[in-house]
Amino acid sequence: MNDGNAAERVIQDLRRAATAAVVGSRLPSVRDLTARHHASPVTVAAAIRALVREGVVEARPGQGTYVAARPGDHADPARGDLSWQTVALGARRSGEEELQALLAVPPAGAIALSGGYLDPELQPSAALGAALARAARQPGAWLRGPAEGRAELRAWFARDLGLRADDMVICPGGQAAISTTLRALAAPGDTLLVESPTYLGALAAARAAGLVVVPVPADAEGVRPDQLRAAFTRTGARLFYCQPLHANPTGATLAAHRRSEVLDAVREAGSFLIEDDYARDLTIDGTAPPPLAAGDADGHVVYLRSLTKPAAPGLRIAAIGARGPAGARLRAARLLDDLFVSGPLQQAALELVTSPAWDRHRRALRRELRARRDALLAALRRHLPLHDGPVPDGGLHLWVRLDPDLDDTAVATAAAAHGVIVFPGRPWFAAEPPAPHLRLTYAASPPELMDEAVQRLKRAVEASASSRRAL
């Protein structure tokens, strides 16, 4: 390999990419560039340094290479000189970029195995439309209702939990529920325990709240109670964020024999368990166990449930349930964030979940999710046997492990180039990932596309493997 030529190739490639992209976009990683140009990491690093000196790219240690601000961007008289903001704002918060990537719209022609919500075909659009129309016709629909939310909706969220309507507060979606809870119950510098891996939006919210995130090992039966106890003892944490049902991204459900052990560990630590019950209506096989909140006598569980996942992302209605001073703090924190949530949207949510159409939708959803999950599993068995764990019995995603020599981010990039959108595993881990993974969202595409999706993914995995072998 002629390293001089390789350096020049890397410089040209990055310069082209930087010119085409907007300021602040992330450029290919050192790993991608070494693979793509058969160059050593030292050569790639030297090429990046040369472009940093020219002001074309910006290297952010530990994060990657980004398109640098162009001189004209700062000094465009029509737009003002915004360069002072760079100094005023300081370092960017980590995790926000991954959250943006999670919501990215797949390009035309690509098959989506990503996204995190039901694809439009699975959303109860007609029932939602009818519910919103009924809500809008109600007298006083647009008036200000109670700040904590409409009483009947709070009662609906509270039923089966052993909570009262007064323990609930309505908020605009699950992400808002997580952010508010973390900010209301912890102060910057406090520790948050999380299952590993876990929802990257919870990790981002925790970091934005200034919390120290400590991962606790989990397996196919959910979080490991022995490790949870050890983590409480070592850190003195007072908060544990947990998804006991069909966890995102792994699909794991907390095993029946672990439930009381987990609650005991939380109780003994004098801690709160934040139960994110995002998948309550997404069980595919069997019957979902009740929420942990239903067996919590002394107010340790703070319960979160959102309607965006089983209905549609635009139905931004969720609830937080908590008792005692924690409940009072959460209701006060919600006021600070939003005052209150749109009345017509709350009423539409109530109309939807109490209509006969809701049960019909949930039954149809169960059948559809099963067909999609099984089609994806069958296609993987046929073409690319990545899935070796237990089959998730609910949720929207399949979590698969890659060959240890592969880079999950490079595979996801190659997959996009081959026309299938998947999400790399790395951002779901609060610490070093034990192995490269991908999250494949079966809810995002119809069963008849799964075979083609997996064949495209297979070509991407092979391309990534051969570029690594060429190094």
Ligand X SMILES: Cc1ncc(COP(=O)(O)O)c(C=O)c1O
Interface with ligand X (CB under 6 A): 116, 173-175, 199, 201, 243, 248, 276, 278, 306, 308, 313, 318
What is the distance between the alpha carbons of residues 354 and 152, in angstroms, rounded to a whole number? Answer: 10
What is the distance between the alpha carbons of residues 18 and 20, in angstroms, rounded to a whole number? Answer: 5
Q: For the CB of residue 273, give the shortest distance to ligand X in the complex, in Å.
A: 15
| Beta strand extents in 154-253 (DSSP E only) | 168-171, 191-196, 212-219, 222-223, 239-242
Q: What is the Cβ-side half-sphere exposure of residue 335, based on CA atoms within 13 angstroms?
A: 10
Whether 311 and 162 have beta carbons less than 8 Å apart is answered as no
* Cα 43–Cα 45–Cα 50 angle in degrees, nearest 5: 95
Nearer to ligand X, 66 or 278 (CB): 278
Nearer to ligand X, 99 or 463 (CB): 99
CA torsion through residues 36, 40, 41, 45, sign: negative
Q: For the CB of residue 397, give the shortest distance to ligand X in the complex, in Å.
A: 9
Nearer to ligand X, 116 or 392 (CB): 116
Nearer to ligand X, 131 or 242 (CB): 242
Q: For the CB of residue 126, give the shortest distance to ligand X in the complex, in Å.
A: 21
**Strand, coil or helix: what is 348?**
helix
In angstroms and rounded to an integer, the radius of gyration of the C-alpha atoms of the chain is 24
Nearer to ligand X, 248 or 283 (CB): 248
Q: For the CB of residue 399, give the shortest distance to ligand X in the complex, in Å.
A: 13
Q: For the CB of residue 199, give the shortest distance to ligand X in the complex, in Å.
A: 4
Nearer to ligand X, 201 or 427 (CB): 201
Name the strand (E) or helix (H) holding 304: strand 301-306
Nearer to ligand X, 75 or 104 (CB): 104
Q: Which two tokens stand for residue 381?
A: 């068995």
Whether 417 and 91 have beta carbons less than 8 Å apart is answered as no
Nearer to ligand X, 89 or 105 (CB): 105
Nearer to ligand X, 123 or 248 (CB): 248
**Strand, coil or helix: what is 193?**
strand
Whether 150 and 347 have beta carbons less than 8 Å apart is answered as yes
Q: For the CB of residue 377, give the shortest distance to ligand X in the complex, in Å.
A: 21
Q: For the CB of residue 309, give the shortest distance to ligand X in the complex, in Å.
A: 7
Q: For the CB of residue 276, give the shortest distance to ligand X in the complex, in Å.
A: 5
Residue labelled with tokens 């990790």: 203
What is the distance between the alpha carbons of residues 323 and 132, in angstroms, rounded to a whole number? Answer: 31
Query: What does the DSSP 8-state code read for residue 295?
Result: G
Alpha helices in 275-338 (DSSP H): 324-338
What is the distance between the alpha carbons of residues 248 and 308, in angstroms, rounded to a whole number? Answer: 14
Q: For the CB of residue 150, give the shortest distance to ligand X in the complex, in Å.
A: 18
Query: What does the DSSP 8-state code read for residue 449?
Result: G
> What amino acid occupies position 94?
S
Q: For the CB of residue 156, give the shortest distance to ligand X in the complex, in Å.
A: 16
Query: What does the DSSP 8-state code read for residue 26?
Result: B
Nearer to ligand X, 248 or 467 (CB): 248
